[in-house]
Amino acid sequence: MWTTVVDYLSARRADAEEWTNGRNALVRLPLLAYLVYAGIRHLADPMYRSWFAGVTLVFHEMGHLLFSAFGHTLMILGGTILQLLVPTAAALYLVLRQRDYFGGAVGGAWLSYSLWEMATYVSDANKDALPLVGFGSNPEHDWGTLLTEWHLLNSCDTFATGIRVIAFVVWGASMVAAAWLCWLMWKSLDSKVAR
């Protein structure tokens, strides 16, 4: 099994290297710089909201509607499920169907920002300090409700810390991948100029 995974990853790496030929790193570097900046801001300030925050919130609220037919718990979880599923699906689609490796890294960054926002929401479960958005005049706190029902409300900060660690790993891997792709593009351009 591991041999198959290693072979698959090696094939993806070779395909990514080939994909960079003829592509321009200069048009991607400003976006990469923003993604690095936004990640650093998320690390420094749990209340920071990136350019992706509005779109993430829309998908979060849509998730409640989409999962409302599956019972109380899934309706509440649906917001978080969809806010994590959409950037994951976008990244996978860009890599696997569009063969856009840099776009996949951007999708990974979006997933990490969504995870950081989720961590802030989970951490607020026993504080109820965040302004809530939702349907109706008195929206309920998703994670406050769920963690109370599961008798885990006092563990909200522990869960939030774990989610932040995952967000950092996803963001770091996405930034390394995007920087590596830009470096390969730059190297490819240099070799063409040298010829």
pLDDT in tens, 93-138: 999 999 999 999 999 999 999 999 999 999 999 998 888 876 666 7
Contact 108, 174 (CB under 8 A): yes
Q: In this model, does residue 49 exceed pLDDT 70?
A: yes
Q: In this structure, is residue 54 part of a structural domain? A: yes
Over residues 50-64, mean pLDDT: 95
Q: Using only the alpha carbons of the chain, give its radius of gyration.
A: 19
Residue 192 pLDDT class (50, 70, 90 cuts): low
Biggest CA-to-CA distance, the chain: 67
Q: Which two tokens stand for residue 169?
A: 């790993």
Residue 33's nearest CA partner among 179, 150, 153, 184 is 179
**Which amino acid is residue 98, in one-letter code?**
Q
Distance CA 122, CA 114 (A): 12
| Number of domains, the chain | 1
In-domain check, residue 155: yes
User: How would residue 5 be classed by pLDDT, with cut points 50, 70 and 90?
Assistant: confident
Domain, as residue range, for 160? 24-194
Answer whether residue 53 is part of any domain: yes
- Give domain status of residue 14, yes or no: no
The predicted structure's pLDDT at residue 8:
87
| Residue 105 covered by a domain | yes
Q: Which residue has the tokens 């998320």?
A: 42
Q: Cβ distance 85 to 58 under 8 Å? A: no
Average pLDDT over residues 151-178: 97
The CA distance from 95 to 116, in Å, is 23
Question: What is the distance between the alpha carbons of residues 106 and 178, in angstroms, rounded to a whole number?
Answer: 8
Q: What are phi and psi of 68, to 5 degrees?
A: -65, -25
For residue 33, count other CB atoms closer than 10 A to its CB: 10
Tokens linked to 132: 């809530």
Asked whether residue 157 is domain-assigned, the answer is yes
> Is there a domain that residue 15 lies in?
no
Task: Note the pTM of the prediction, 2 decimals.
Answer: 0.91
Residue 8 lies in a domain: no
